[in-house]
Amino acid sequence: MEQRTYNQYCATARTLDLIGERWTLLLIRELLTGPKRYGDLQASLRGLGTGLLAARLKHLEREGLARKVTLPAPARTPAYALTEAGEELGPAVLALARWGLKWAMDERRGGETFHAGWAVLGLRACFDPDAAVGLRAVYEFHVDDEVLHARVDDGTVETIHGPARRPDATITITEEAFVEVTARTLTFSDAIEAGTAAATGDAEALRRLPVLFRLPARRSRPAG
């Protein structure tokens, strides 16, 4: 498959030459949360055919953005991980996510897929470092069967797939309620009142939760 190019001597154009093809940036999004097996990528990117997935992964390898690895024991299976260059796309992907939460996200459309694991990056995109100054706490999130956790450490955050060893607070929410909260058609407090969400644990950690992970106010894009 011939790689298309903008043929411009411009850093933005050169970057889009590398990651501007359909699905490429979403593959990077998936790998930003850690190495993934081929099957994991297929499951998270429904609609991406096997042939195109293989082609996009080969492209990322060829361009030095991803590499093949072997997962540690007990898995010991082949997987894909980002290189240093690929990892440095993280801030750009998070900036796109923040823009999307403000200007593009409304109610879920018919046929749109959702994977609760995307919340790992979503939490980073919504994190307010100023609100986390002086706080050290671990939050564990359960979105239906998906478990992830966030480790807040004095203005920084690390979000990871899987359970925490000793969470200070645990938040449980159904996938449907999580989607509604993201769309701003439901508040987290209303979800708790309705029984579709629950929050338990350290009182101070729970008190800080609403300001730590805060969705930006949604804005409309008026047609010109």
Tens digits of residue pLDDT in 166-208: 999 999 999 999 999 999 999 999 999 999 999 999 999 999 9
Percent of the chain with pLDDT over 70: 99
The sign of the dihedral angle between the CA atoms of 189, 143, 90, 156 is positive
Measured distance CA(22)–CA(8) in Å, rounded: 20
Tokens of 36: 């993934």
Task: For 79-137, write each residue's pLDDT tens digit.
Answer: 999 999 999 999 999 999 999 999 999 999 999 999 999 999 999 999 999 999 999 99
The domain made up of 11-88 has a fold known as: Arc Repressor Mutant, subunit A (1.10.10)
CATH, domain range 116-212 = 3.30.1050.10
The structural domains of the chain, with segments of one domain joined by +, span 11-88, 116-212
Give the mean model confidence (pLDDT) for residues 132-159: 96
pTM of the model: 0.91
Place of tokens 């203005």: 155
Residue spans of beta strands (DSSP E) within the chain: 66-70, 78-82, 136-143, 146-153, 156-161, 169-173, 197-201
User: What's the pLDDT at 200?
Assistant: 98
